[in-house]
Structure 1
């Protein structure tokens, strides 16, 4: 039996960086944990890890093949983040340069339903490419509590739409807190109303994506619905 120092926390560390969304070896690590659960969780490593207990984790790390793949993936992530990027080697002349990239949707992976189509996939790939290049870029978008709709056919063959309310605690996303461990709140004025916004962060390789969420008190029901559904609501809500 192997005696090792690794725990579930080390797996969460890898899961919380979305490098796994475009690196086959990292994805394979989670698939090896439980291929069936990997499918039923819609390739969501956070939900997958939440569903396995410590006994299963110990068993995994005592498997030489899994341990070898884990250490390879763990080193790969560390090296990816530490090594000098293409940008750092070739274009890093403006030390304070920061590029802001805004989009209404980001298609990063299937289990994070904040995209609908081509624009989202393009925006998501843009962040992944920016990460590989090491660009000093930060993404800004909206965190939809319902995301895009799901669909199924009824007995007559008609398409029916339905929404799933997201549990953000089951996603590789982190609510941003201040020094007092309270949610950071940004306030903006739209027309005659002050709207409060809390901020969440996704890590995509070297890139940070900040997502804005209006579904909090003291916002009115109407304003809480601004980030409820991707492309939902009336014309005013969308604007």
Structure 2
């Protein structure tokens, strides 16, 4: 909990914590470390973060959220990764678990869609937060769809993830040639990425996941300046 309160690690404390976790991994308690990290440490720590943001409203809440995210992304998250480094190699990494927890326990608890639409100014840190969280993929979920709706408000043009959208009516067309923009893969947050600079490096575009099978490629255009009249359109390339 001290990590979430801004306390720095003491001299040699990181080494001691790493060795303790390595020892626990060799015991019967080893299988519970990830569960403790996800359901105890993150839940309690991020509940305090949420309380800080909920003290404000409107544009001021967005500014506070940006500041909270900046501290989480540049200080708390790297510290958690360092402490729980021995736990790496699980289905989801410590980094991914932490970012997904911030998405579910802080961001989506604030119901920001209307505030983002009416805000006079959206802080760069908030835009960065939305794009970083969008790059962390767990199993298809309602939470990810809710996140994409928020990204759609602040990023133009925006291409929704076709695999997580209800299948619409389809129109057949020829497949694009190699190198066409439609063949681009998604922008995905990875464990080895360098941390984005504070309030900088905001990506202005997102690219939909592309689903390939024997029948061809399916993608979705999001509602926005690039979308045809009438909203989203599903296209199947054969």
Global fold match (TM > 0.5) = no
Specify the TM-score bucket, using the shorter chain as the normaliser.
under 0.3
Higher helix residue share: 2
TM value normalised by structure 2: 0.26
TM value normalised by structure 1: 0.26
Higher strand residue share: 1
